Amino acid sequence: MKIAIAGAAGRMGQMLIRQIAGTPGCSLAGALEGAASNALGRDAGEVAGVGPDVKSVRGVKIVSDGAAAIGAAQVVIDFTVPAATVAHAKIAADKGVAMVIGTTGLDPAQTALIHEAAKKVPIMWAANMALGVNILLALVEKTAAMLDPSYDIEVLEMHHRHKIDAPSGTALALGRAAAAGRKVKLEDVWRKSRDGHTGARPSGEIGFAALRGGEEVGVHTVMFAAAGERLELEHRAFSRETYALGAVTAAKWLEGKKPGLYGMKDVLGL
C-alpha cells in the first residue's frame, strides 16, 4: 500500500510516517507540506526521526506540489486544516486516489466538497480514529436512548494549546451520538458555550465545554446528570499513536473499496 501524507512535517504527520514504517506492507510514496514550510526538500523519514535503514519511508522528499505527492500514492492521509483538506480531496478525486481524512472544523460548504469528491473515490472520514473513541460513540448513543430527558447531557473535552477548533470534532461527534440516541437533531438542542446570565438550563439541551492547555493529547467526557446521580463515560488518549494506527488501518481497509464516504464504524465493523 503506497501512502502519501499531507502535513508530513507536522506532529501528526511525523507520527503517521513512523506508523507506516512499522506497518508491514505499507510504504511512504509522497510527503506534502505548505509552500512556506522549512521542511521542503528534506527527507520525510528523516524529519519523522526514522533511521536510514527503514527503506519503506526513506528517500521521499517533502514537497509542496499536491498533485505530485498525492498522484504517487494509492491513498493519501490528511490531518491538516479544512481549506487544505478540501484542496487535497479534489486532487485525490481527479487522480483516482483514495483518502483518509482526520481533519475537523470543516464548514458546510467544505463538507459538501468532501461529499462531492467521495462520488469519485473512496474516502474514510472520521473525527477520531481511536478504537476506544469509536466504542465510546456507540455507548453514548445507547445510553442516551436508555435515559429520559431528565438526564442533562454535557460533553467536556480538553486538548493541547495548539488545537485551532472548538468544540473538537470528536466532541461534536459524541454530541451527535447522544442526539441520535434521543432521536433529535443536534443543531436543534446544542449549547456550544455559556457566558453571562444564561438562565436555567432547558430540558433536553446537549451542552459543550472546551478546555485548552499544555500538551494534552485528548480527553472526552460525556456526562449524564440527573437530580440524584451522574453517569460519566470518558476516553483519554495518551499518545497520537492511537490516531496514527487507526488512520493507517483505515488506509489499508480502503483498498479495493468503491467510491463513497465511509467512517471508522465501517473500518472496525462496529
d(CA 28, CA 60): 7
- Percentage of residues of the chain with pLDDT beyond 70: 100
225 strand-pairing partners: 152, 230
CATH 3.30.360.10, the chain: domain bounds:
131-237
Q: Using DSSP, how many helices (H) and how many strands (E) does the chain show? A: 10, 12
d(CA 9, CA 144): 40
**Is it true that domain 131-237 has CATH number 3.30.360.10?**
yes
CATH 3.40.50.720, the chain: domain bounds:
2-125+240-268
The catalytically annotated residue of 2, 61, 120, 163 is: 163
H or E element that contains 261: strand 260-262
* Band of residue 90 on the pLDDT scale cut at 50, 70, 90: very high
Is residue 159 annotated as part of the catalytic site, yes or no? yes
pLDDT tens, position by position, 14-45: 999 999 999 999 999 999 999 999 999 999 99
**Is it true that domain 2-125+240-268 has CATH number 3.30.70.20?**
no
pLDDT at 270: 74
Using DSSP's 3-state secondary structure scheme, residue 166 falls into coil
H or E element that contains 224: strand 218-225
Owner of C-alpha cell 507536522: 10
The per-residue pLDDT of the chain, averaged, comes to: 95
List all residues 6 or more positions away from 155 whose beta carbon is below 8 Å from its beta carbon.
167, 171, 174, 175, 178, 206, 207, 208, 209, 220, 221, 222, 223
The residue that leads in pLDDT, 195 or 67, is 67
The catalytically annotated residue of 88, 159, 220, 235 is: 159
**Edge-to-edge strands, sheet with 230-237:** 190-191, 206-212, 152-159, 218-225, 230-237
pTM score over 0.75: yes
Is residue 163 annotated as part of the catalytic site, yes or no? yes
pLDDT at 25: 93
At position 63, the amino acid (one-letter code) is: V
pLDDT tens, position by position, 192-247: 988 899 999 999 999 999 999 999 989 999 999 999 999 999 999 898 888 899 99
Q: What mean pLDDT do residues 59-86 have?
A: 97
Q: What mean pLDDT do residues 81-90 have?
A: 97
pLDDT tens, position by position, 145-180: 999 989 999 999 999 999 988 999 899 999 999 999
Long-range contacts of 116-121 (CB under 8 A, 24+ apart): 117/89, 117/90, 117/92, 117/93, 118/259, 118/260, 118/261, 119/93, 119/259, 120/93, 120/94, 120/96, 120/259, 121/92, 121/93, 121/96, 121/97, 121/259
- Percentage of residues of the chain with pLDDT beyond 90: 86
